[in-house]
């Protein structure tokens, strides 16, 4: 017969092993999302200083599927890889210089955006997910357009016309797609 002390020790071992397993599983998910963000950047249509890319959708998905902590980890790994020179940014570019170029604000805006989306994702309600993604997208635009305006010296109205307006319909479609994908994949990831 096991003593109470042995039972507690066995439970602690099981909890520790479960926690390590959960950490490994989430690390794998975060790595996969970081890779998908990079793939989304390769799907790029240059239309001016700011290209049309799919990486925004994967940023939103990282927050929805992984939550704020692991979503930040996925986006952080992606940004770090790009800063180190790996060709993971739009058009297959990389390097720290991308952060001070016209699209640097969008890259920086990914971090608070994924945090906000991850914050509301814990409720797993489609309406809240969509609201969170709209707010996240607005964060990306606010940082990105402001940075674009500062770096290029163009008027703020021109920066909006170049850095936001052409992307609104596409981003609305990305939000709908991300909500649909998250609804289908969440049960698998959260097991």
Q: What is the dihedral of CA 183, 177, 24, 112, to 10 degrees?
A: -110
* Of 102, 142, 137, 158, the residue nearest 93 (C-alpha): 102
* Of 67, 78, 64, 40, the residue nearest 175 (C-alpha): 64
- pLDDT tens-digit profile, the chain (191 residues): 566 565 556 555 555 666 888 899 999 999 999 999 999 998 878 887 788 889 999 999 999 999 999 999 999 999 999 999 999 998 889 999 999 999 999 999 999 999 999 999 988 899 999 999 999 999 999 999 999 999 999 999 999 999 999 999 999 999 999 999 999 999 888 76
Q: For the chain, what is the domain count?
A: 1
Q: How far is CA 29 from CA 126, 167, 189, in A?
A: 21, 28, 8
Residue 109's domain comprises: 4-189
- pTM attached to this predicted model: 0.87
Q: What is the CATH number of the domain that holds 96?
A: 1.10.1760.20
Q: How far apart are CA 151 and CA 163, in angstroms?
A: 12
CA angle at residue 26 from 93 to 123, to 5 degrees? 100
* Residue 164 main-chain phi, psi, to 5 deg: -140, -55
Residue environment code for 166-180, b if the CB has 16+ CB neighbours within 10 A, otherwise e: ebeeebeebbeebbe
Q: Are 112 and 132 in contact (CB under 8 A)?
A: no
Contacts of 150 (CB under 8 A, 6+ apart): none
């Amino acid at each position: 017969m096991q003593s109470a002390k042995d039972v507690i020790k066995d439970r602690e071992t099981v909890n520790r092993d479960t926690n390590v397993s959960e950490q490994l599983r989430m690390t794998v998910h975060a790595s996969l999302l970081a890779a998908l963000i990079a793939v989304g950047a390769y799907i790029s249509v240059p239309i001016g200083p700011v290209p049309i890319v799919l990486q925004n959708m994967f940023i939103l998905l990282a927050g929805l599927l992984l939550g704020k902590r692991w979503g930040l980890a996925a986006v952080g790994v992606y940004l770090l890889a790009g800063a180190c020179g790996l060709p993971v940014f739009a058009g297959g570019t990389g390097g720290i210089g991308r952060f001070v170029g016209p699209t640097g604000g969008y890259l920086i805006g990914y971090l608070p955006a994924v945090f906000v989306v991850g914050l509301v994702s814990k409720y797993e309600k489609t309406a809240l997910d969509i609201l969170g993604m709209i707010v996240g997208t607005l964060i990306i635009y606010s940082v990105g357009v402001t940075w674009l305006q500062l770096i290029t010296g163009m008027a703020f109205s021109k920066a909006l016309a170049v850095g936001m307006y052409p992307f609104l319909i596409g981003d609305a479609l990305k939000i709908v797609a991300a909500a649909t994908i998250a609804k289908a994949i969440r049960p698998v990831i959260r097991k």
